[in-house]
Structure 1
Amino acid sequence: MTSTYSSLHDNYVSNKRRSTSCVTLVVVLGCLTVLGIVLAIAVLERPPAPKDHETLPEVGCGSDICTDQCSMALVESIPQHMKFKPNATLGISLEKAWKDLLSMATNQVDVSSFYWTLTGEDINVNSSSDIPGREILKELEELPSRNVSVRVVTSVPSVRTNSTDLKILKEKGVQVRKVNFGRLTQGVLHSKFWIVDRKHVFIGSANMDWRALTQVKELGVVVYNCSSLAKDLLKIFQSYWVMGQPNSTLPQPWPAKYDTAINKHHPLQVKADNVSSRLYLTGSPPSFCPPSRTQDLEAILSIISEAQHYMDVAVMEYFPITRFDKPQRYWPVIDDAIRTAAFERRVKVRMLISCGRDSDPGMLPFLQSLASMDSPRQDISIEIKLYIVPVGNQSDIPYSRVNHNKYMVTDKVAYIGTSNWSGDYYLTTAGVGLVISQHAPHPIWETKALQGQLRAVFDRDWFSEFAVHLADLGHHPDCALSR
């Protein structure tokens, strides 16, 4: 591993070159005012389709309300030795969510992860905090012996480790494919999700890494008994799977079997526990999205433009540039949308940005620029805090003790994704997101609606001792931006 990774969990090789086949489309996104947001989206030229695409299941429910139960739960991993107040809102633990999914699997488990490091040896660390990771690896190993088919897709290029996880899994009968996103799009496969028995789904910030279970603050969502959503996510998985074949080429267009009936304009509608929900999945990069799939960037910009009262964002990294281009390019697409929302519609913006020992100090001037718009006199509200996970006596564990969350919640929707907020993640890198819009009576909203729970989690973190106002940072040994 080298210092070119600002975090083991997210950043990839910076010596990539922009493909000369990229072209730029200018898309004007309308909003409620006469002013629009001009969005530049790089779309890769797509070669002819490969011939051996496998059959995919159709998405059920059509445009009607789905009969699936589709119960949802917030999932979190809180690093060891971090304590919150006794009455604080907490999601299901990541360890429990993953183990529950593995125990209920009867037929098929498909996993997408940027990289695999489920044991301490994978990164030359001896720590008892890797025990949950070892247990997850063991349970995955045993699935084929239970006649459960397991498929794994991971990235090339990936993080440099000594990991033997995938070798062990292959020996036990797990099918593994590595997708060369470096060759296909000049990016990486950064998506993190599970699909179990084509009806249960996990999407979130956590890679298949023991540190995600005990040393890194993660957030995701698990959706149970939701075959329509699971089968739709399976189409994204399958696009990675076929591109993991030797000499694969990106199809243009993607065959109709990869199309989706679920998107921003036609969300999946479900009702459970007196909570009505509208859901859809998003994807990136553009070259992996058929026209019917809402792109990740399109969803984020739409969510920002539709917010009326507040917008809370928690991401590990925020850069209005393309970080891994040589040379880097200014990319203010999301930044402009945030400023527009705060200035034109007086949306109250709160942003919780992670700062750890390995964070890139180059992020600081961009955050300061955005925060400088904050002006109570003019009713413009953009507040930015840095979230610092205390390192304590865990300093021997590299690329840990960091807030890895990637989500947004507004007065309209909740969004849980797998990407940091910089240009590369939406132009060349594979990621997914889940957009959730819910309605429920007020008492139920606070206890059973995931949207309400996510806002409570943000408030918990925002007002915690671990969140420091940008202007109050000073010197902090656990935050690289303060050095």
Structure 2
Amino acid sequence: MKSQQKCIVIFALVCCFAVLVALIFSAVDVWGEDEDGITEENCSRNCRMIIVENIPEDVSLAHNGTTPLAAGLHHLLDLATRQVEIVSPHWALNSTEYESSIPTAKQGRFLFHRLMGLKSQKVNLKVASGLTLEDSKELKVLSRHGADIHYLNMTILTNGKLLSSFWVVDRKHVYIGSAGMDWRALSTLKELGVILYECSCLALDLHRIFSLYWQLQYKDFIPSIWSKRLYGLFNKRKTLSLILNNVTAEVYPSNSPEAFGPKDRAQDIEAIFDVIQDARWFIYISITDYVPLVSNGVSRYWSAIDGKLREALLLRGIKVKLLVSCWQQTHPLTANFLWSLQSLCMDMANCSMEAKFFSSREQPDGTIEGINHNRYMVTDNALYIGNFGWVGNEFTYNGGAGLVISQEEEAEDSNVNVNANANANANASVNVTAVQQMRAVFDRDWHSRYAKPLQLNKMPVCAQQQQHEALTHSLKSWDDYSVEKTDGPNASL
């Protein structure tokens, strides 16, 4: 009888152990991929960076040391020998029907054909997307040409969308910026990003973010425990030390939303806070949308970034400039929020806040075409580039990625002279920092004829276009508000 009881107890313990193991492995559901022997110890830290831009043909702005976006992406494909990993919120490169009216639209089709041809060159193309093959004809075509495509159901996972936009090529080179795989990003929209070459330490960490997306294919839950291969390698407390264009730099990537945050991975909102907090003289922001609201049925004020900027203005005397896009989907409350910030500095000697709307093309009838799709911030000692408009719902629900680069700070009013060829020349010996390069881009846009100052009691045209709809529908979900599109050549993103 006792031996029988012992058997029952042992059997029960074995069953409990089996259930425990099953639960652990179901929790540790997302594993990182093989990293090809690249480690923190043997990865490359001597990197070259260029800023890549798409400036529409009918927008009169000089590249000012930057490289055309299309040329930068094609160069990455020229360098690829093993694998190209891409995350993009859009897949609409095939622009054939618009090429007669917009000659530059063919850039999208050229890039699409290059991607289709990677398999024949024995280069693997891997795409993580929030779009299914049924949703996207282009992903279906890429799949038929050998691309490996994984789908994330962001609606189930976070009630949001996958808005990340970055490339990892051969675990050596990376691109991150505002442009998705859309023909308009290479033709009619003003885009900005950065490419870093021979930078396998950073590529390794961005690859881990890609791997997180990759392993969530068809999952209907987010695991409570992540594999160590998905942990962040670098963050604010442990930055990646690089030699970037012959200048020392501290770098780390970030990720959103919080639910997609394995151990040691900085969140985008934390990265933005860090850059704002570390600024000593100025904070210059170029952003598509600035709407400090979060909406999930009921809208409420989202103080995260707005509050940090107010602290910088009032408590630390930091000079702030905000360049916000004026486009088809500009929320009518944008001007109100900007005025609220600007009014803080009325009659205060050590407070400086300026805001402008950037409108690339205004038609005779008052309508706005195109969009300044830039999403970055530059201070006297750092820059942040990401994938989001600065809207509460973006950071709360959507998948995105960002990059922080910190370098030696500038003097308060130092002049920024960037050699126009410095970025494009791989052997350039000039010691211009990435921060100085990005500030030069911001200054060019800020002082251009496309930047219109915020005027008291005068609603900009872009906001007037949406005034009636906003009053009718109150503050509906920003996700619903901002993804409305048209199919024409000037469709919004």
TM-score range, shorter chain: 0.7 to 0.9
The question of 1:148 aligning with 2:127 is answered no
**Residue of structure 2 in register with 1:178 after alignment:** 151
Deviation at 1:336, TM superposition (A): 0.7
Match of 2:33 in 1: 55
1:434 to 384, 403, 410: 403
Aligned residue in 2 for 1:8: none
**Counting helix residues as a fraction of each chain, which structure ranks higher?**
2
Q: Distance in 1 between matches of 2:276 and 2:282?
A: 9
Distance 1:48 1:313, change over 3 A: farther
- Please name the residue that 1:455 is paired with: 439
Distance 1:79 1:480 in 2: 25
The residue number in structure 2 matching 1:130 is 105
Residue of structure 2 aligned with 1:83, choices 53, 60, 63: 60
Task: Verify: 1:96 aligned to 2:71, yes or no.
Answer: yes
Q: Secondary structure at the match of 2:46?
A: coil
Separation in structure 1 between the aligned mates of residue 162 and residue 101 of structure 2, nearest angstrom? 28
Partner of 2:451: 467
Cα distance in 2 between the residues matched to 1:443 and 1:386? 24
Counterpart selection for 1:336 from 307, 312, 331:
307
Q: Following TM superposition, by how much is the alpha carbon of 1:375 offset from its aligned partner in structure 2, in angstroms?
A: 2.6
Answering whether residue 283 of structure 2 is matched by residue 311 of structure 1, we say yes
Cα distance 1:464–1:265, how it changes in 2: closer, same or farther (>3 A)? Answer: same
Match of 1:277 in 2: 249
| Mapped contact 2:93–2:182 kept (Cα < 8 A) | yes
Match of 2:234 in 1: 262
Task: Flag the 1:47–1:61 CA change in 2: closer, same or farther, 3 A.
Answer: closer
Structure 2: give runs of 5+ residues left out of the alignment: 1-23, 420-431, 468-493
Using a 3 Å threshold, how does the CA distance of structure 1 residues 166 and 446 change in structure 2: closer, same or farther?
same
Counterpart in the other structure of 2:170? 197
Where structure 1 has 5 or more consecutive residues not aligned to the other structure, the ranges are 1-45
Distance 2:371 2:121 in 1: 36
- Tell whether the 8 Å contact from 2:255 to 2:265 is kept in structure 1 after alignment: yes
Contact 1:47–1:250, Cα closer than 8 Å, also in 2: no
What CA distance in whole angstroms lies between the structure 1 residues aligned with 2:355 and 2:456?
A: 11
State the distance in 2 between where 1:175 and 1:391 align.
42
C-alpha distance in structure 2 between counterparts of 1:148 and 1:69, whole Å:
25
Query: Shift in Å at residue 437 of structure 1?
Result: 1.0
Pairing of 1:39-438 with structure 2 (within 5 A): 48-49=26-27, 51=29, 53-57=31-35, 60-62=39-41, 67-84=44-61, 89-120=64-95, 127-156=102-131, 163-244=136-217, 246-323=218-295, 325-375=296-346, 377-391=348-362, 401-438=370-407
Q: CA deviation at 1:54?
A: 4.7
SS class of match (1:419):
coil
Deviations 1:230-261 (A, max 9, x none): 011011001111112x2442111211111122
TM-score (norm 1): 0.81
For residue 362 of structure 1, report the CA deviation from its aligned partner.
2.9
1:357-404 deviation per Cα after TM superposition (whole angstroms, max 9, x unaligned): 3322232221221121133543211110000011559999xx961001
Deviations 1:115-148 (A, max 9, x none): 2111236899964332000000000000011110
d(CA) in 2 for partners of 1:301 and 1:439? 19
**Would the alpha carbon gap of residues 471 and 47 (structure 1) be closer, same or farther in structure 2, given more than 3 Å must change?**
farther
Please tell me whether Structure 1 or Structure 2 has the larger radius of gyration of its CA atoms. 2
Count of aligned pairs between the two proteins:
428
Assess if the C-alpha contact under 8 Å between 1:355 and 1:480 holds in 2.
no
Asked if 2 retains the 8 angstrom alpha-carbon contact of 1:108 and 1:196, the reply is yes
Coordinate RMSD, CA, aligned: 3.1
SS at match of 1:439: coil
Task: Supply the distance in 2 between the matched residues of 1:343 and 1:250 (Cα, whole angstroms).
Answer: 40
Q: TM-score, normalised by structure 2?
A: 0.80
Question: What secondary structure, in the 3-state scheme, does the structure 2 residue paired with 1:361 have?
Answer: coil
Give the 3 Å change call, closer, same or farther, for CA 272–381 of structure 1 in structure 2.
closer
Q: 1:248/1:148 Cα in 2 relative to 1: closer, same or farther (>3 Å)? A: farther
Q: Distance in 2 between matches of 1:84 and 1:339?
A: 31
CA distance in 1, matches of 2:446, 2:235: 31
3-state SS, counterpart of residue 185 of structure 2: helix
Report if the CA contact (8 A) 2:32-2:227 is conserved: no
